[in-house]
Amino acid sequence: MIQERSQALPPVRITDIVAAPLFGDSPPGGWSNEIKPTDSIHTLIAVHTDAGITGFGSVFTDGRLTEAAVTQLSSLFLGENALEPERVSEKLHQNSFWFGRGGTLTNAISGIDIALWDILGKVTGLPVSMLIGGRHCEKVQPYCSVLMEEPDAMGEVIVRFREQGFRAFKIGWGPFGRRDDPKLDEAIVAAARAELPECGKLFVDAGGSDAYWPNGLKWALRTADMLAAHDVGWFEEALVPDALEDFVTLRKTSRVPIAGGEVLTRRQSFLPFLVQGAFDIVQPDVTKVGGLSEQRRIAQTAQDFGVTYVGHGWNTALGLAADLQLAAALPNVELVEYIGGSAYVDGLLTEPFELDENGLLSIPAVPGLGVTLDPDKVARYSPKAEQLFSAEA
């Protein structure tokens, strides 16, 4: 039987991997050093094969760094069987630790891994979710992720996306926690809360991974009390990313669930935070952490510790597609992140994502990631769009 299966599914060899940086329309991040049009924050990946089948992925890293990483990894992936995503991705990890484990190479492997799962789905005729766990659900609620604004403008932002059908929102970064003004912080949250739809959900992201985050544990404890009074669903990145002991203390004390983990990469980095009880909600990013292979293992481990998994998804339409597939493959995943108004989410696909009448996203059930990039749309943002879609270009 094993031999028959092997013959029925012959190897599909990797012939090339292309990294296509996206430029020109990155959504503002609210960072201290704000994103400029000339900056590349996200990169699309194409894995080309000798079967003429191409898989696509996404990387949360400057495209020029990603291109260098792909060049560095090329001797490890060329000729590999694209139908073995976990084995190939782990080979790339294991042979690149020496060059900076958890950095650009890990980020680049994330996009490659997503693309390999896309290929496996296309070859088998199955959605990725069926390959990595099954279909626990067919729809999931997206939360609209938007920047903090001054109170008057904050309410207007919520209204704009509420009218598009969103029923859950995360507000973050911007002036929050940056002006040593608790009244301003509370006014921003109150303005957002006032404009939510009936039974709407609100989450708050302090942005503690921003450069030179000025606040510590005592600020986080006081702010958590304020957020609890406004029925906020979670408090994200309340501290600098490596403040493990402070996260443990905050989580034990806060009446609001504590979320974090978006800057951690590979499963090993998450273990201390899970073992010591630092998070109520863990938020790995599939386009940073090592791809779907790593994301699934982190999410499953988190669930074993009683920690909720909600993927961090401040990336692209392909990152969202991967998050949707994993949301189906795991039990009890209720939310995915959706950047409000991002051209890289809304403006890259032949058929853009659409909310249903209940503010939910359908999880594609067609082969692979279940979405199709539009070459003309990608060309607006990437000078390497042609190479992305053609191995011979």
> In the block, which residue shows the tokens 């790995």?
284
d(Cα 288, Cα 111) in Å, to the nearest integer?
8
Phi–psi pair at 133, nearest 5 degrees = 165, -25
d(Cα 114, Cα 55) in Å, to the nearest integer?
8
Q: Enter the tokens of residue 143.
A: 């939360």
Give residue 7's pLDDT: 56
Give residue 87's pLDDT: 98
As to burial, measured by CB atoms within 10 angstroms (0-12 exposed, 13-18 middle, 19+ buried), residue 38 is: exposed
Measure Cα distances from 225 to 47, 228, 257, 356 in Å.
48, 5, 11, 35
Which portions of the chain are predicted below pLDDT 70? 1-7, 391-393
Element (H, E) at 336: strand 335-339
Element (H, E) at 381: none
Give residue 391's pLDDT: 61
Residues in the chain: 393
Give me the helices (H) in 62-204, please: 63-77, 85-94, 104-124, 128-132, 151-162, 182-194
Residues 129-154: tens digit of each pLDDT:
999 999 999 999 999 999 999 999 99
Give residue 1's pLDDT: 43
List the domains of the chain with CATH numbers. 2-126+374-389 (3.30.390.10), 130-362 (3.20.20.120)
> Can you give the pTM of this predicted structure?
0.96
For residues 246 and 239, is the Cβ–Cβ distance under 8 A? yes
Q: Enter the tokens of residue 223.
A: 């702010």
SS3 291: coil
Q: What type of residue sits at position 74?
A: S
